[in-house]
Amino acid sequence: MTTKMKFETSFDEGLQVVVLKNGRYAYRAKCPWQGKSGKDLHAFKFCGKNQLEMYNAFLEREES
């Protein structure tokens, strides 16, 4: 059985917005703990197109 663990993150800490294979948008963040055999784990949470646009605007501000 698994245990749900919660954590908070932001764009500055590596939070990404990605388009999944099914065309939906989701936040993607690296979990602060590791899985079996030391593998990195990533958490996903669905979001909207507006959040994708905000993320792209954030990236543009960071590049300039």
How far apart, in whole angstroms, are the C-alpha atoms of residue 17 and residue 13? Answer: 13
pLDDT of residue 1: 53
Beta-ladder partners of 61 = none
pTM across the whole model: 0.76
pLDDT of residue 57: 93
Q: Note whether 57 and 51 are within 8 A (CB).
A: no
pLDDT range class, residue 14, cuts 50, 70, 90 = confident
Q: Is 51 exposed, middle or buried (0-12, 13-18, 19+ CB in 10 A)?
A: middle
Mean pLDDT of 27-54: 91
